[in-house]
Structure 1
Amino acid sequence: MRSTYKIRLQRSRRFNFSGTAISAVVVDDVVGHEEMDKHPFFMKSVPENGELSPLAEGLAKLKYDPDENTPLELANNYKEDGNFNFKHKNYRLAVLGYTEGIKVRCDDAEVNASLYNNRAAAHWFLRNYRSALQDSEKALTFDPSHTKARIRAAKSAFEGKKYDKCIEHCEKYLEKNTDKGVTELLNKAKKSKMLKERDERKKNRTEMKMNEQKDELIKTIIERGIKISKCDDEDDIDLSKLEPTLPGAHDAIVHLENGVLMWPILLLYPEYQLTDFVKGCPENAPLIKQLEQLFPAPWDEENKYKCSTINIYFEGYDKMPHIVDPNKNLGHILVSKYFELRGGTAAFFVLPRGSRVERNYIESYI
């Protein structure tokens, strides 16, 4: 059996439905719980299908009709809608409600201050600290004595790492009020500001040192006379042209150690389609020294690759192969005629001397 109860309202009261507040008329009837929930005066939420009855929809339109309400009434209606959603922790919907109220642009400073302050509170719970700060400060333009807006502005500024703003709002609040929490926030902001400034000075010193090292590196490369691929002006080298393009080799860019250029080099073995990558080969060391550390190679089962039985080539910017004397320092090879540094890495082809593989390599350029 359906339970029923009788309700008699002796005066006009306000009820929420579909996230809004409306004025209810006097009701004197006996209805069931289900009927009560469906009545537009007593609805607590929007129906699951998202549709409102014609009566509920009409009442909602009437409530927000600019022809039926003054700007002040509209602003208050939207504020009530925002408050309802805020109370139920629907902060995004609350922001929308307060925003509509702000758009009305009523001429009541108190209502406008409340709308901005309430929207700031919704933004705070959404962790939109920058928006919370902006709205709190806007509320203060309508009511400079709004303590909640002042405190929230200070807290939002602190969370957004705007410590000067936080200090400013805390000090203004404490001019006329005593609050242990605000005093603690002020001290935290001052300490955080000091640490932030220290970190920024450290960062600036590090960046300055890095820029000095980059300038010295580029200056040294220019003095050496090394030709860089895709660098039209030899006296104005772009450091990005020196970054290795090989996967996983970005940290192997050329660098200076005690005035010596340390170059990444790539050794290619076409016969086996294998490579060796050396991160930092000193410019004042013979290329043969690098090969001595790599041979004998584990993949060279026939023992064909020895320092005494190989030839080394580079492909010049004339698109032809050029043989290299491995007993020369790397720095001398890098300034050889036709040599061009590509992808920030010096690349050399290693082939068994007099082999079919070497002949095929040379013939591929003819």
Structure 2
Amino acid sequence: NEGNEYFREKDYGRAIVSYSEGLKKKCEDAELSAVLHANRGAAHFHLGNYRSALNDAIQAKKLKPTHLKAIIRGALCHMELRNFSEAIAWCEEGLRIDSKEKKLVEMRAKADKLKVNITAPEPFWRSKLTSPLISRVMMGIDLLCERNIKLVLEPSNEEEEISDGLAEISLNGFHSDNAMGAKVHLDADGNLSWPVLFLYPEHEQTDFIEAFHENSRFIDHLMVMFAELPPWDLERKYLPSNLELYFEDEERAEMYELNPEHTLLQVLQHQRYFVKAGTPTVLAFVKHSPFSKKYFTGKKVHQL
């Protein structure tokens, strides 16, 4: 199978296209279709497209309820998306099929632990912050302050991770719960490159850019990302010139439309942009689409 060959070569993008072509043939064999969905989901997972991977896991499970690999993949996706209750439910479903499946047993225990938000007491923080560590933390904070970038640090779930998370706010990068575990990097010229997540709400798909230079324009990345139409764009509408980009101010339930000619830094410096978990996020919609009109209902929309 061509898709499997691409997968073995770690060419996950082409593997996704190949599996999608197989699914387009609408095979009557439910088990084969389940395998194609499961394999495509695995490729999406390796690219960090967790929502797309989850959708494929759901479809594979519908076609074959005992598809253990699909169930494990679905649970993993929920873990990455920090939907711990859903991850537990998927683990339990898989354990009813195989009560000794090691991955599910371990994931179930981890999800239970992460579901409880543990806040470390102040003395613990102070005891872990040595002078060199404080210097590294302050250096990272200074980089953001110089740029007027607002970073939202979410509390860690495990005590031993707290000091590490603080330490990574440094020249070595910021802690990030993103798709590939990527971090912000400072280059020799003093510029930052960020991991950036693109969301496509209409199709529940995502794209992940591991290193988006702060002085790069959004349009430049769109031209590369959509040089070929994605397999899920069956209506062939996702063209760089036909897209609108937004970020969402969740606190105020307001949307801000980005100018694709703007750089990442220009967007991050906006007074209402808050970087969560070290990963800037952008939403993409087809211009004037019925879905976007419905999505924006009840939200105030601003233009940058």
Instruction: Identify the TM-score tier after normalising by the shorter chain.
Output: 0.3 to 0.5
Structure with more relative contact order (C-alpha pairs < 8 Å, separation 6 or more): 2
Q: Larger C-alpha radius of gyration, 1 or 2?
A: 1
Q: What TM-score results when the alignment is normalised by the length of structure 1?
A: 0.38
